[in-house]
Chains A and B, each alone.
Chain A
Amino acid sequence: METYQIYSLTSAILFIIGIGGIFMARHFIKKIIATVIMGGGVFLSFVSFAQRDAITFADPVPHALVITGIVVAVASAALALALARRIYQLTGEETFTNDK
């Protein structure tokens, strides 16, 4: 087993933890954290393949992609957080209810 494989397997696990969190977590914040964890898993898999494909240096393309991806994910998470806080501020709700 090579290093990259450890991380690529981990990435799958993280992805699944994240997706499970999105499905099962109730609090807004936790759901948002779950998306970030999910994203972390995805990025980990990118970078693990970059390491696999390293020659003189690791494959720079996945690195660049991941940097871009992280920023995008953070922007999304920030927006989600803003929405969650606004909802809480307006209604005191911190979880989804079915009728809204």
Chain B
Amino acid sequence: MSILIDILLAIIMVYLAIQCLLTPRLIQSVFLFFAFGLGLALAWVRLGAIDVAITEAAIAAGFLGVLFLDALKSFAPKVSVKQDNLEDIYKLPRRNIKSLILPRVILVLGLALFLFIALEAVWMIPDGGGLTASAEALLPQSGVEHPVTAVLLNFRAYDTWLEIGVILLGLLGVFVAGGIKLYKKPGASKPDPMLRQVILFVTPVLFLFGAFLLYIGKTGPGGAFQAAVLWGAIGILLHLGGKPIFAMIPRWLFHLILTMGLGFFLVLGFLLIADGRTLFEYPPAYAGLLILIIETLGAISIAAALTAIYANLNQMEEETNEVEPTT
């Protein structure tokens, strides 16, 4: 029975994925992507990966979906200016379709072969056994009770640290890509009275829920990323509501918020090295506390970064007039 559910879910996911890519209309595609993300989250749940499910729903489907949606509004108008037929607004441009047929046939053939080989590889996979046992054995020393958190912030803290760096890096990249002027005043937006009310209501709820997730991460599913997305949502909402927080606070503070997760992590690591340990080798007694601090600061930083990313992207077309088109 449960297998049937899984199979159904799998089929739905595959269908959604294919449809998402095949549909000619961009907006449909984005909504299908939302749906696909949710399907994937369900799959995580089915596989017992609640943390992943939350992360997926929050970041991959949620945050990214919002970004895509936001992008749609940017892509839409120009198409309409260009083309007379409103029917075609969201249609993808199709040029010399005939010349594309042969390559596509070959590609589909290739995909099919690839699929066949990949399925065989996945089917024939030997049982490697995983690391569950060793993780379980070492869990008590990690300072946290939830194994995923232990792995994320202790066993493989290095990866996590780098990953926080990646988000910051993504933000920097967005700054660069969006034109440097935006970097100077992230998130300057027009106020919207309706939204402001909603925001006033939602913000504390999101904040509290985020804090809960963060705290619960020590023992169960939840943690920094999930919390960060929620807090990031606050930022986004505030931004939409005409309160671009990062435009309001001093730049140094903004930078501090952005970098404190990464920075604290690193400084802590350096201090540990100075203490004669290795990087991220917490003293067992303080491990739990340190992890909590790191998670909190990390979550704040990530939230800030996500907010800033959204703000920048959201802002982009408003700058159109100021940027001279370059060739």
State whether these chains interact.
yes
Which A residues contact B (CB, under 8 angstroms)?
1, 3-21, 23-27, 29-30, 32-34, 36-37, 39-40, 43-45, 47-68, 70-79, 81-86, 88-92, 94-95
Chain B residues contacting A15 (CB-CB under 8 Å) are 118
Q: Which of B29-88 contact A (CB under 8 A)?
A: 29-30, 33, 36-37, 40, 43-44, 46-49, 51-52, 55-56, 59-60, 63-64, 67-68, 71-72, 74-75, 78-79, 82
Determine whether the beta carbon of A68 is less than 8 Å from that of B159: yes
Asked if B262 CB lies within 8 Å of chain A CBs, one says no
Determine whether the beta carbon of B29 is less than 8 Å from that of A60: no
Determine whether the beta carbon of A60 is less than 8 Å from that of B147: yes
Q: A19-B111, A67-B148 are in contact. Are A40 and B46 (CB under 8 A)?
A: no
Chain A residues contacting B123 (CB-CB under 8 Å) are 5, 9
Which B residues contact A (CB, under 8 angstroms)?
2-3, 6-7, 10, 13-14, 17-18, 20-21, 26, 29-30, 33, 36-37, 40, 43-44, 46-49, 51-52, 55-56, 59-60, 63-64, 67-68, 71-72, 74-75, 78-79, 82, 92-93, 104, 107-108, 111, 114-115, 118-119, 121-123, 125, 127-133, 135-136, 147-148, 150-152, 155-156, 159-160, 163, 166-167, 169-170, 173-174, 177-179, 223, 225, 302, 309, 312-313, 316-317, 319-320, 323, 325-326
Q: A82-B313, A82-B316 are in contact. Are A50 and B166 (CB under 8 A)?
A: no
Determine whether the beta carbon of B159 is less than 8 Å from that of A33: no
**Partner of B40 from A4, A40, A82, A92 at Cβ < 8 Å:** A40
**Partner of B68 from A18, A29, A48 at Cβ < 8 Å:** A29
**Partner of B166 from A18, A25, A32, A75 at Cβ < 8 Å:** A75
A1 to B119 alpha-carbon distance, docked (Å): 14
How many Cβ-Cβ contacts under 8 Å join chain A to chain B? Answer: 275
Q: A61-B130, A82-B177 are in contact. Are A12 and B60 (CB under 8 A)?
A: no
Q: Closest 7 A-B residue pairs measured CB to CB?
A: A53-B130, A75-B170, A60-B147, A64-B151, A59-B130, A82-B177, A10-B10
Q: How far is the CB of B100 from chain A (nearest CB, A)?
A: 9
**Partner of B104 from A24, A65, A68 at Cβ < 8 Å:** A24
Determine whether the beta carbon of A55 is less than 8 Å from that of B132: yes
**Partner of A20 from B111, B125, B132 at Cβ < 8 Å:** B111
Determine whether the beta carbon of B107 is less than 8 Å from that of A20: yes
Determine whether the beta carbon of B68 is less than 8 Å from that of A56: no
The majority secondary structure among interface residues of chain A is: helix
Q: A24-B104, A72-B163 are in contact. Are A17 and B48 (CB under 8 A)?
A: no
Chain B residues contacting A66 (CB-CB under 8 Å) are 49, 52, 55
Q: A54-B48, A59-B132, A81-B71 are in contact. Are A17 and B60 (CB under 8 A)?
A: no
Most A C-beta atoms less than 10 A away, residue of B51, B151, B223, B326: B151
In the complex, residue of chain B having the shortest beta-carbon distance to the beta carbon of A43: B52
In the complex, residue of chain B having the shortest beta-carbon distance to the beta carbon of A97: B95
Determine whether the beta carbon of A7 is less than 8 Å from that of B6: yes
In the complex, residue of chain B having the shortest beta-carbon distance to the beta carbon of A18: B17
Determine whether the beta carbon of A50 is less than 8 Å from that of B21: no
Chain B residues contacting A16 (CB-CB under 8 Å) are 111, 114-115, 118
Q: A27-B26, A33-B20 are in contact. Are A4 and B47 (CB under 8 A)?
A: yes
Determine whether the beta carbon of B309 is less than 8 Å from that of A78: yes
